[in-house]
Amino acid sequence: MNFYNKMPGGFARLARKMLQDLARLSWRAALVLTTLHVSISYVGLFLLGETELTQNWARYLYFYVVTGSTVGYGDLSPGTRWGAIFTALFVVPGAIAIFASFLLGRVFIAIQEGVQTIMNGLGDFTDRYGHVVIVGYIPGDTERLLRETRMHHAGKDVIVIAAGANAPRGRSAFTSVHANSLSSLRDLERAGIKGAAHVVIMPGNDDECLAAGLAVGALEPKGHVVAYFEDREKAQLLDHHVAQIECVSSTSVELVSRAMVDPGASAVLADLSSASRNATLHSMQIRPGGSAATDLQGWIRRLRKRGATLIALRRPGETETVSFDLSDPIADLTGYTLYYIAAKRLPRN
């Protein structure tokens, strides 16, 4: 500031403004710099006797652009020794400096601003497809969910939508989108809900989960959507209004009752739900023409040979009803979903 105070008021303001423009690499600063450099170069060449280059502006502009862009010389070049020296020491370096500082600087700033925007949770992923979106953030639980499902979503981008004080802190393995509300349609679209392969609604609050579920349902995402509730009644309410969302409610009471009646049952159920255990519950949908075996008993034998045990199946078109009756002689399982227990997920048929 002392440097500016020693200048006349108008010149100090002009110098400060130019430095600010240079720091931002604005178009105005580039235009001013280019005009100054072109003018000074013209005056310098004129005073050094380069009349061939400065006899008219069209000729000089042609010379300046060819020289400054380092394309090479054609029919115009300095004719005097001092003109050549002036061109080598001022015209060419100045033009290159303007080009590099402005264009490359603008590119660098654009990249920097883009990265900063994403890091601040303001990124726009509307056109993204095939990724995973988690609506809501619960410290610890969200990371655990991603660890449990990492084998399934490996290679897919993960975007977590968070609102308010629940926004993730520091660096993480996922991309954050900060929202005004988890039910904001604009923020949900910004996270790429419509093109997501998987959507999980798990904000830790049933009221927020219900509101977010209704908003997600309104956007009609293409992928599978799961919503987690503590209260079963609210899960049923969302299921009634948005049938395409699979609503999951807490089974804590049921686990306690099973542990009370059958000691150790809760540990077995927990192991079947965890992807980190040797025996885990998996599912497989039978696709048309995917396998020679189409009947139920044939699939039971086939899974057993692979070290898997079939425990239930779901008919085509059903969303929640699952049958545990494996004695039914079903001749064609095409379109059915099979649920089996195995150490790892089997390849699709």
Instruction: Give domain limits for the chain.
Output: 2-119, 132-250, 263-342
What is the chain's mean pLDDT, rounded?
81
Question: What are the DSSP calls for 107-162, one per residue?
Answer: HHHHHHHHHHHHHTT----TT--S-EEEES--TTHHHHHHHHTHHHHTTS-EEEEE
Q: What is the pLDDT of residues 284-333, one digit of tens each?
A: 888 887 665 678 888 888 899 988 999 999 888 776 678 888 888 888 88
Q: Residue 221: which of 249, 250, 246 has the closest Cα?
A: 246
State mean pLDDT over 202-225.
93
**Percent of the chain at pLDDT above 90?**
24
Reply yes or no on whether the pLDDT at 50 is more than 50.
yes
CATH of domain 2-119: 1.10.287.70
CATH architecture of 132-250: 3-Layer(aba) Sandwich (3.40)
CA–CA distance, 62 with 55 (Å, rounded to integer): 12
Distance of CA 4 to the CA centre of its chain: 45
State mean pLDDT over 113-125.
77
Reply yes or no on whether the pLDDT at 97 is more than 60.
yes
pTM above 0.75, yes or no: no
State mean pLDDT over 183-195.
94
pLDDT confidence tier of residue 88, bands split at 50, 70 and 90? confident
In this predicted structure, what is the pLDDT of residue 208? Answer: 94
pLDDT confidence tier of residue 227, bands split at 50, 70 and 90? very high
CATH superfamily, domain 263-342, is Regulator of K+ conductance, C-terminal domain (3.30.70.1450)
